Amino acid sequence: MRINNFKIGRFYAKYEFSTPYMLSSSDAESLTIKELLSLEEGVLDTYINLKIGYTEL
């Protein structure tokens, strides 16, 4: 059985990295963890000092 290529797949293969604006994408620009945590002041210290482990049920 031969399955034809999806048209959207061919579209992205051709234009995804060559166009200045991609208005059809459904995801946001990626951030590093550092960039994400820098959006709120003081949150980096909170996560650095966070103790993780199991809790009682």
Q: What's the CA gap between 24 and 21, in Å, rounded?
A: 9
pLDDT band at 53; cut points 50, 70, 90: confident
Q: Please report, for the chain, the start and end positions of each structural domain, with discontinuous segments joined by +.
A: 7-48
pLDDT at 8: 84
Q: What's the CA gap between 11 and 34, in Å, rounded?
A: 33
Residue predicted with more confidence, 32 or 57: 32
3-52: per-residue pLDDT in tens?
888 888 888 888 888 988 878 777 777 889 889 888 999 888 888 888 88
pTM of this prediction exceeds 0.95: no
